[in-house]
Amino acid sequence: MPKGLRIAINTGGGDAPGLNAVIEAVTMSAYHRGWEVFGIKNGYQGLLDTDEIVRLTPEKVRNISSTGGTILGTTNRGNPFAMPVKKVDGELEIKDVSDRVIENFKRLKFDCLIAVGGDGSLKIAYEFFQKGLPVVGVPKTIDNDLGGTVITFGFDTAVSIATEAIDRLHSTARSHERVIIVEVMGRRAGWIALNSGISGNAHVILIPEIPFNIDKICDHITSLELEGIKYAIVVAAEGAIPEGGSEIIKEGAKDGRQDVVLGGVAEYVAKEISKKMGKDTRSLVLGHLQRGGSPTTFDRLLALRFGAAAIRAIEDKKFGHMVALHPPHVTTVKLEEALSSMKRVPLDGDTITTARDLGISFGD
């Protein structure tokens, strides 16, 4: 009998609901083939310091698909191809330590690395693939801006949480006759704002793809008043920008990640509306709430299917590929292809049209 394969798996970048489901499906699918799976802690870090590698068994992963976070951690300290390393004098220096990753990978006799991650992590995975490492990717992005797959896990949960928040804000905005601006994730693409805004019956949706004009937003709020609606819910993607706007309004954002954005777009819009209309406004940043906690049923299933598909991809020697959803099928696409495009909201797509037909303004 040929020896079973030895699979390494890591999770990189921001936390996303469904990561544990991928890990569960990878482990169980490998187990039923007589293969072994090893969990690499904290992205690629665990292949630099190999002392925390853990063997994943059915006992360890059973039923974790319904839990949030990742049992493998994601406190990545950097890109192995450009790692900030402290020199003797305490200064930071950027070093390529990727060879160390490859050496450890070979020394531990791994046959394949399953890299679960977003844009950044998958680019690193692709670089390792180009250097000869057998890699299979599993796409992960809350924001839904990754190319090559119609959708990925984590997004449905984020949209659901945002929608539930919008639902709650309606009643309080209505009771107090206020304009509430809620800021959701999405620096480059407005999917979460768009989908949750429609589902949550928002009055205005602001997305990076459509620069907004404060006066147009105010006009819309006024037209609502004429229809007897004395409050408004504005959903803003954190990456939404005013017409002709620069990055100025996002100066509070920390190093490009979807974190607590003080002085972000929601606060900016709230202040401007208050100034121009004299309306009582409030802003709210959902932040981390969108990426934590138990995945929705949709995301659990998709992540489990992705995990199982990753093992089949290895069986088929589809290295350099990532698994992808092309409904109703889970297939694979070349990492190169997937990474070459970014999925922004198409302005002529039926979702934007639906929003406009429902009477929702994009501030344009």
Q: Which of residues 179-198 bind a second copy (CB under 8 A)?
A: 180, 195-196, 198
Nearest-5° angle of CA 119, CA 124, CA 129?
120
The residue within the footprint of a second copy, chosen from 89, 227, 247, 348 (CB under 8 A), is 227
Of residues 7, 8, 29, 238, which one binds a second copy by CB under 8 A? 29
Tell which positions 268-287 bind a second copy, by CB under 8 A. Answer: 280, 282-285, 287
74 counts as binding a second copy under rule CB under 8 A: yes
Which one of 37, 114, 135, 161 is in contact with a second copy (CB under 8 A)? Answer: 161
- Is residue 143 part of the annotated active site? The answer reads yes
156 makes contact with a second copy (CB under 8 A): yes
**Region from 93-101, 125-133, 238-246, 256-264 binding a second copy, contact rule CB under 8 A:** 256-264
Contact flag: residue 174 with a second copy (CB under 8 A):
yes
Residues 237, 240: Cα–Cα separation, whole Å: 5
Q: Does 15 sit near a second copy (CB under 8 A)?
A: yes
Q: Does residue number 349 form part of the binding site for a second copy (CB under 8 A)?
A: yes
Instruction: Give 50 or 331: the residue with its C-beta nearer to a second copy.
Output: 331
Establish if 172 lies at the interface with a second copy (CB under 8 A). Answer: yes
d(CA 341, CA 356): 27
Q: Which is nearer to a second copy, 133 or 189 (CB)?
A: 189
Report 84-113 residues binding a second copy (CB under 8 A): none
Catalytic residues, by residue number, are 143
